[in-house]
Structure 1
Amino acid sequence: MNSQTTFTQVTPSGRAAITTIVVRGPNAINVVADFFESASKKILAAGTINKILFGKWQAPLTVAEDLVVCLREINVVEIHCHGGTAACESISACLQSRGCVKTSWQHQTSNYYGGSAYCQDVWELVPLTTTRVTTQIALRHATGEIDRLLDDVRHEISSGKLASAAELLQPYICTYKLGRHIIDPFVVVIAGRPNAGKSSLLNAMTGVNRSIVNQQAGTTRDVLQYKTMIRGWAISFWDTAGIRTDAQTLEQLGVAKAEQAVATADLVIWVHDVTENWQSQVEQVERELDDINYLIVINKTDIQQAGDDLPSQIAVSAKTGEGIDELSEKIIERLMGGGEDQQTRPMLLTKSMDDSFKQWFGQLKANEIPTDLLPIGPPDHS
């Protein structure tokens, strides 16, 4: 039995109006009682389980802090205090002065749910997610989604069905390139010739007049970045200088940065001006972007219609907003590698697990049993 008393801050300070600190262990009640006095003079004790007590926390040499405590179960006390960092730090110092050990909420949660080293690694990622979609994905993995899959794989192996075990792994092979984006935003580079309306398109996509818009070609000479969200995924749009071969010396610096951004992007949106001879340019651009994930966008349709011959291009007007919603859907579809539900599709969230899956899959396809996947019992889905 663990005789250590620990405390964990389970909600963030600073942004939160109220912060919750949980104290666990055999001395939890006594430690909290040393600093807390209820307004009703009731004593925090074993008989007060689930009773809310309002009162003051008196730290040495400081003004008493109004807060609420609640004994949730024997040896588990919740402290609900002001969300400011000063209050949290003061209470933490008091608890540590009585021998309590501070632990992370990830550590406490992973101990509660159990799970593999992969689950524990993913718990560390949860607070780094920035959208509801990515947080839900991380929580599913942290609470055992992949562990349960591997239980099924082991069950197939124990039945001698190595091919079936490999089939269970196959949808997850090389999916970390997607899974890493629960933390890292997708990089979408907006590129094209000067004055094609790239900056206007960025402003239309993000709803913010972030980029400088000017009729003079070559206005953008640096890479401007703006983060937004599409269907629950964080996107970092990069607005680049217009790419042309006859650029002046200063403009060439921007062109070089644009070409570098294109080479490293998750997706390139190549913008053409509908009023120019864009049809003749598309074929050349498609050849140059052959190894890159890209979309061709025909802009300024408020001035002139693009025509019906658009087999793979998207017509938009950055000025009026026409086609922007369709473009957003196409962007996320390209980034996700298909139109299936991004919340339920197979993916792995750490490179180490991605490498393991590739290794196990290769061994199973070669009719070998991976030593890491030796059966340890029937699948448990309780």
Structure 2
Amino acid sequence: MASEVGETIVDPTDAMAPETLVAELTPPGRGAIATVGIWGDQAETILCQVLFRRDGAPVSSLPVGRIQVCQFRCPGHPPEKVVVCRVEPRRIHVHCHGGRAAVRRVLETMAGCGARIVGWEEWLDRTTPSRWQAQCLRALAQATTPRVAAILLDQLAGAFPRELEEIAGILLAGERKDAEARTRELRLRYEVGKHLLKPWFVLLAGPTNAGKSTLFNSLVGFERVIAHPMPGTTRDVVKETVATDGWPITLADSAGFTTPADPLDQAAMTRAQAAIDQADLVLWIVDLSQEWTGPWAGANRLAGNFASFLGDKFLYVHNKADLLDVEERSIRLRGRPAGVVTSAKTGEGVEALWVAIRQRLIPQAPPPGAGVPFLPEHAELLASVQTNIVEGHAGEAVAEIRRYLRSIRWLPNEKG
């Protein structure tokens, strides 16, 4: 069945979908226990062909909600003990040994009895009651921090669809300004939501020998890149994904900007320039112990151009503060752009830098329970709804919200 936004999903209660599916539901890889799910009208019939009680008698029925210890018989292999639970009338879970060979035997045996093996994403699309639940469960499978998971769990509980319903209600009450403000706020939250699955990209850039690689290692918490006093040690863009206060961030170290001595230097700076264009935030690392108008004056002028163009996406970091005493620091900072003072060597200022990074990337975190759009289709819907509201087409905005809620099969029992 095709939705109004172009995605295909089959209603689990649709009589036109008689197929029985089987899938591995636990992540692939070695483990003590794996879970294999089977779903469809023939799920019980198929399992009763291969499940036997501990006394050897065939299993004739699987009551919903009851756990049973059984023998799973695969042709050509000794019986294997499994734990079986029928979680829904058409959905049964088989918990077996987690080794890859054992899981493969269970899948192939059920496939030989008439089920079709599918991946976990198709399993979600086919077995969840709504497309909204499928979207949220897919996203949760990719969550890398508890904070991200908590936000996505709020969405699974219906936070975003409920806010859409509220906006429609506000429009029907004739409160167009309030509805537009609520829609605008949701669009701003997408700036956070889109990074729940794709981390923010923060690039360390700047002139050569400013301590970028040492600071990069200090930020990620281990020696990820080689740091050396000789300029030009870093040639490629080196990345590492970390979490700060529960937010996923990909940090990248790049080649220093200098007068290119050879084609390799030029290529390295070209890659660094390309990374700047892609970054959500650029940290421009400069050596506080050096004169601002000294050998790196050319790179610092370039930084001024970047700062003017990037605005809040650009942050100066005055590094190597450990080389100066308090009075010398004060002198060096005069006439320089405002920024964070750090010492990658001693760790001074590193936590303050993390705070500054979070403030630039996430100036306002969504409150618990708030609706947070996290997919491009959510952003597109909100942009269209806001345009209709601003242009005075409140009725079309309400109709658009309702069409979308129908397309994701937003069900009454998902509310609350």
Task: Mark yes or no: TM-score above 0.5.
Answer: yes
Question: Residue 285 of structure 1 corresponds to which residue in structure 2?
Answer: 303
Distance of 1:325 and 1:147 partners within structure 2: 37
Shift of 1:48: 5.6
Amino acid at match of 1:371: E
Please point out which of 328, 336, 339 is paired with 2:354: 328
Q: 1:277 to 1:86 in 2, by over 3 A?
A: same
Contact 1:270 1:296 in 2 (8 A): yes
Alignment of 1:272-311 (within 5 A): 272-278=286-292, 285-292=303-310, 293-305=313-325, 306-307=329-330
Alignment of 1:193-342 (within 5 A): 193-245=207-259, 247-278=261-292, 285-292=303-310, 293-305=313-325, 306-307=329-330, 312-336=338-362, 338-341=363-366
Question: Residue 376 of structure 2 corresponds to which residue in structure 1?
Answer: 351
Shift of 1:326: 1.6
Q: 1:206 to 1:20 in 2, by over 3 A?
A: same
CA deviations on 1:122-177 (whole Å, 9 max, x unpaired) are 44333233333223333333442221111112222222323322222110226544
The answer as to 2:389 corresponding to 1:364 is yes
CA deviations on 1:6-27 (whole Å, 9 max, x unpaired) are 4443322315431122334444
Contact 1:44 1:71 in 2 (8 A): no
- State which drifts further: 362-371 or 96-105: 96-105
Alignment of 1:31-50 (within 5 A): 31-41=46-56, 44-46=59-61, 50=65
Question: Residue 101 of structure 2 corresponds to which residue in structure 1?
Answer: 86
Q: 1:301 to 1:40 in 2, by over 3 A?
A: farther
Q: 1:45 to 1:232 in 2, by over 3 A?
A: farther
SS in structure 1 of the partner of residue 322 of structure 2: coil
Contact 1:12 1:83 in 2 (8 A): no
Q: 1:205 to 1:96 in 2, by over 3 A?
A: same
Q: What is the TM-score normalised by the length of structure 1?
A: 0.86
The answer as to 2:47 corresponding to 1:67 is no
- State which drifts further: 6-15 or 208-217: 6-15
Shift of 1:329: 2.0
Contact 1:186 1:234 in 2 (8 A): yes
Q: What is the TM-score normalised by the length of structure 2?
A: 0.79
Distance of 1:196 and 1:368 partners within structure 2: 55
Shift of 1:203: 0.8
Please point out which of 173, 176, 180 is paired with 1:159: 173
Please point out which of 89, 100, 110 is paired with 1:95: 110
Distance of 1:147 and 1:311 partners within structure 2: 44
Q: 1:181 to 1:218 in 2, by over 3 A?
A: same
Amino acid at match of 2:349: G
**Which residues of structure 2 form unaligned runs of 5+?**
1-12, 406-410
Distance of 1:345 and 1:13 partners within structure 2: 33
Contact 1:174 1:354 in 2 (8 A): no
Contact 1:59 1:94 in 2 (8 A): yes
Contact 1:204 1:318 in 2 (8 A): yes
Contact 1:298 1:316 in 2 (8 A): yes
- State which drifts further: 193-202 or 12-21: 12-21
Contact 2:209 2:229 in 1 (8 A): yes
* Sequence identity percentage: 25
Alignment of 1:109-188 (within 5 A): 114-115=129-130, 117=131, 119-173=133-187, 175-188=189-202
Distance of 2:22 and 2:397 partners within structure 1: 35
- State which drifts further: 256-265 or 166-175: 166-175
- State which drifts further: 34-43 or 236-245: 34-43
Distance of 2:91 and 2:233 partners within structure 1: 61
Distance of 1:150 and 1:111 partners within structure 2: 25
Q: 1:26 to 1:346 in 2, by over 3 A?
A: closer
Contact 2:74 2:109 in 1 (8 A): yes
Distance of 1:226 and 1:346 partners within structure 2: 29
Amino acid at match of 2:394: I
Shift of 1:373: 2.4
Distance of 2:274 and 2:368 partners within structure 1: 31
**Which residues of structure 1 form unaligned runs of 5+?**
none
Contact 1:297 1:313 in 2 (8 A): yes
Distance of 2:316 and 2:128 partners within structure 1: 47
Contact 1:185 1:234 in 2 (8 A): yes
Q: 1:370 to 1:174 in 2, by over 3 A?
A: farther
CA deviations on 1:234-263 (whole Å, 9 max, x unpaired) are 222221111123544432221222222122
Shift of 1:353: 2.0
- State which drifts further: 126-135 or 38-47: 38-47
Structural RMSD (CA): 3.2
